[in-house]
Amino acid sequence: MDQTLQPRGSRGSGSGRARQGLLGLLLALVFCLLPAAAPALAALPRGNAVTDPAALLRNALPIDQRDLQDLQHRIEDTSDDLRAKRWSSLANAARRSQSLATARRQGILASFPAADQARVGQLLDGLDDQLQALSSAAEAQQREAFLEARRSALSSIGTAEALLVGPFPYAIPTEFDALPRLLGRATVLLRTTKGDLTAVVDGYNAPLTAGAFVDLVKRGFYDNLPFVRAEDFYVLQTGDPKGDADGYVDPKTKSVRRVPLEIRVPGKEGPFYNETFEDLGLFKAEPILPFNAKGTLGWAHSDDALNDGSSQFFLFLSEPELTPAGLNLIDGRYAAFGYVVEGLDVLNELTAEDGIVSAKLLEGAENLQEHA
């Protein structure tokens, strides 16, 4: 599968790339269908994998506020009951969440800096109303009302959690001092020939990858670039510049700027660089930014090296039956650096005949540094 996500210089042309894409898809299917004793299935995470991009971004914040996060996960975990229409379980979950929010309110407030406590108090007041609406919707068995109340409650929790993020949590290795880095998050608007995609780029967990991407967005690098490959239920790739170079040529050095493979896992202070999970023996690991959601942003590199990515990125077109979350053969081999949060309907319509009209930085410019 590695061979299907390469910069142009190391890929075959035309039919060769198509054959490689088909081979990658067939390999993914073979691995997905292996019996339970096979090593590939050992990487399947416990429980249902999270596939909602907003939830993945909440979970990836570098914070430790157990009460708030427990409340978040309780509300998120209502999805199975909602699909099965287990309304009494949903009503019980809503009531338990209300009780939890009330009982732990003071402890949650006390964990925030004094300057933020008034704002958090307002968010918690709104959360009380949203959880009441959640409970009422469950009692009345109103699915759309339940979904709207849940979205609102999780948005309030996510806004509060974002206020807990302190200084950037770790040092980036000095060997990468010359590379741009995103020390936080940014929001990017990708205007395509079929419509707009809005993506949140996460520099907390992939600072060099996200930094390279946001830097190129600011430079207008992606404007008017086509999608160089599009494979149904797999990937949509762009970022291949016109001319002979397979990436961004730095005007200062006159050479292609290279970005290392960068993947962070829970429990480690910073990311691993230029090593796959296989290299590290992490066969059961899941990255903090997994390829679980349709519209996951991934950074392309060649099959020959892990550190030769430059500008090409892909949008992961998750299809649960072909590329199940937590079992997709891409986690641990490629760097995810963000998620499409709006415009998934547009993403479904894009093909190799389309392209990016323009890429614009909406938020987070203050988090970008050109170098160390």
User: Tens of pLDDT along 168-183?
Assistant: 999 999 999 999 999 9
The answer to the question of residue 118 being in a domain is: yes
Cα distance between residue 368 and residue 44, in whole Å: 35
Cβ atoms of 54 and 115 within 8 Å: the answer is no
The answer to the question of residue 55 being in a domain is: no
Same domain, 291 and 188: yes
The answer to the question of residue 52 being in a domain is: no
- DSSP state string for 223-245: TTEEPSEEETTTEEEE---SSS-
DSSP H or E segment with residue 88: helix 87-103
Let me know the angle formed at the C-alpha of 318 by 70 and 57, rounded to the nearest 5 degrees: 30
Would you give the end-to-end CA distance of the chain in angstroms? 34
The answer to the question of residue 84 being in a domain is: yes
Q: Two tokens at 323?
A: 């590329």
The answer to the question of residue 42 being in a domain is: no
CATH number of 113's domain = 1.20.120.290
Cα distance between residue 319 and residue 66, in whole Å: 32
Same domain, 342 and 194: yes
Same domain, 31 and 128: no
Q: Two tokens at 159?
A: 């806004």
pLDDT band for position 232 (50/70/90)? confident
Reported as a single tens digit per residue, the pLDDT across 250-293 is 999 999 999 999 999 999 999 999 999 999 999 888 999 999 99
The torsion region of residue 329 among left (phi > 0), alpha (psi -120 to 50) and beta comes to left
Let me know the angle formed at the C-alpha of 55 by 52 and 60, rounded to the nearest 5 degrees: 125
Q: Which of 122, 144, 162 is the last residue of a domain?
A: 162
DSSP 175: G
Q: State the pLDDT at residue 320.
A: 59
Q: Which of 162, 181, 213 is the last residue of a domain?
A: 162
The answer to the question of residue 139 being in a domain is: yes
Average pLDDT of the residues in 183-197:
98
Give the CA-trace dihedral at 84, 90, 92, 98, to 10 degrees.
160
CATH number of 247's domain = 2.40.100.10
What is the number of domains present in the chain? 2
DSSP 197: E
Q: State the pLDDT at residue 328.
A: 75
Average pLDDT of the residues in 203-210:
98
Cα distance between residue 203 and residue 217, in whole Å: 15
Reported as a single tens digit per residue, the pLDDT across 3-40 is 345 443 333 333 333 334 433 443 443 333 333 333 22
Cβ atoms of 78 and 105 within 8 Å: the answer is no
Same domain, 8 and 72: no
The answer to the question of residue 49 being in a domain is: no
Q: Work out whether strand 185-192 and strand 355-363 pair parallel, antiparallel, or are unpaired.
A: antiparallel
Same domain, 9 and 148: no
245 phi and psi angles, rounded to 5 deg:
-70, 150
Same domain, 302 and 192: yes
Average pLDDT of the residues in 334-348:
96
Q: Which of 127, 162, 197 is the last residue of a domain?
A: 162
| pTM, two decimal places | 0.85
Same domain, 184 and 156: no
The answer to the question of residue 47 being in a domain is: no
Same domain, 86 and 190: no
Q: What three-state secondary structure class fits 372?
A: coil
Q: What three-state secondary structure class fits 315?
A: strand
Same domain, 120 and 183: no
Cβ atoms of 229 and 352 within 8 Å: the answer is yes
Same domain, 327 and 309: yes
Same domain, 18 and 143: no
Same domain, 244 and 231: yes
Cβ atoms of 264 and 287 within 8 Å: the answer is yes
| Cα torsion angle, 48, 205, 219, 225, sign | negative
Domain extent for 348: 2-37+167-369
